[in-house]
């Protein structure tokens, strides 16, 4: 299928993009890498009257380290993030998750912030942000606000972003000394969306586990560190609480089983790689 007609505006400045969003509201859609939006347009799942292209906003093509977090500007592609030399040291969870996202061709265009805004429940980057307890930075003509990951993604392909707001950056908490981070997922083929994805953070006497692909949005649970038998019980309870549903890829029961089995493995890996 082809998209319905729309106007197209290519912005060179953040302010022009914000002006267009303020003017058109719900009728406008930002396009960043287009790796999800183009499919939605072609299937006519969204029918904006104007598409606002932010891909050439050089002012947002930055990765910067700040106090306690690494900030990715809205036009940083997933490939550019992968190529950032300090990634593995500063945000090892994101470094471990990125190669699982689609293919290098999609990562060459797809952005970190685009993935967060698309809010697919199986997506790796929203899962990492939620597990690490990161934030997103939203801007509109009215104001700028910082929203926690768990408050930002509110459901299936659904976020707390208002129609006149643009995500200008995402802040991933930086790795802490003595903490361990690990990521795993299961999919039919490498590059497919995850059937179940798991992100683990271990440190300061706590275990934090994030699960994607089971519920409508990432689910995150934190426990005090514990022995293996108690962990098996805790994962069992967590998996049951997640519920989840059957689809053509897997049953809810299979997904719960993966949370139990892979959950144990990924937490073990995070424990081992504590620096």
Residues that bind ligand FAD (CB under 6 A): 29-37, 54, 74, 101-102, 106, 109-111, 113-115, 117-118, 120, 123-124, 166-167, 193
Indicate the residue among 167 and 211 with the shorter CB distance to ligand FAD.
167
DSSP the chain: --PPP-EEEE-SSHHHHHHHHHHHGGGEEEESS-TTHHHHHHTTS---SEEEE-TT-GGG--EEEETTEEEEETT-BHHHHHH-TTHHHH-HHHHHHGGGSS-HHHHHH-BHHHHHHHT-TT-HHHHHHHHHT-EEEEE-SS-EEEEEHHHHEEETTEES--TT-EEEEEEEEPP-TT-EEEEEEE-SSTTSPPSEEEEEEEETTEEEEEEESSSSS-EEEEEE---HHHHHHHHHHHHHHH-----SS--HHHHHHHHHHHHHHHHHHHHHT--
Give the shortest CB-96-to-ligand FAD separation in angstroms. Answer: 14
Give the shortest CB-59-to-ligand FAD separation in angstroms. Answer: 13
Indicate the residue among 7 and 241 with the shorter CB distance to ligand FAD.
7
Give the shortest CB-116-to-ligand FAD separation in angstroms. Answer: 8
Query: Which residue has the CB atom at the shortest distance from ligand FAD?
Result: 110
Indicate the residue among 109 and 271 with the shorter CB distance to ligand FAD.
109
Indicate the residue among 126 and 173 with the shorter CB distance to ligand FAD.
126
Indicate the residue among 16 and 106 with the shorter CB distance to ligand FAD.
106
Give the shortest CB-203-to-ligand FAD separation in angstroms. Answer: 26
């Amino acid at each position: 299928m082809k998209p319905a007609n729309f106007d197209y505006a290519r912005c060179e400045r953040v302010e022009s993009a914000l002006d267009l969003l303020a003017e058109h509201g719900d009728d406008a859609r930002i396009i960043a890498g287009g790796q999800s939006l183009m499919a939605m347009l072609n299937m006519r799942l969204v029918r904006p009257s104007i598409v606002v292209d932010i891909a050439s906003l050089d002012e947002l093509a930055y990765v910067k380290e700040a106090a306690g977090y690494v900030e990715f500007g809205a036009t940083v592609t997933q490939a550019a993030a992968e190529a950032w030399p300090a990634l593995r040291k500063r945000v090892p969870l994101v470094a471990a998750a990125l190669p699982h996202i689609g293919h290098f061709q999609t990562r060459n265009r797809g952005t970190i912030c685009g993935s967060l805004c698309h809010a697919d429940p199986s997506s790796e980057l929203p899962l990492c942000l939620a597990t690490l307890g990161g934030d997103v930075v939203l801007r509109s003509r009215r104001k700028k606000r910082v929203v926690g990951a768990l408050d930002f993604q509110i459901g299936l392909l659904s976020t707390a972003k208002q129609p006149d707001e643009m995500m200008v950056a995402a802040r991933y908490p930086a790795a802490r000394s003595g903490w361990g981070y690990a990521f795993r997922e299961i999919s039919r083929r490498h590059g497919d969306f995850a059937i179940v994805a798991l992100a683990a953070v271990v440190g300061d006497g706590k275990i934090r586990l994030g699960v994607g692909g089971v519920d409508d949005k990432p689910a995150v649970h934190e426990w005090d560190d514990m022995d293996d038998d108690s962990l098996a019980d805790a994962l069992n309870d967590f998996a049951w609480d997640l519920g989840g549903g059957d689809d053509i890829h897997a049953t809810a029961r299979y997904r719960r089983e993966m949370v139990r089995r892979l959950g144990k493995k990924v937490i073990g890996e995070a424990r081992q790689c504590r620096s």
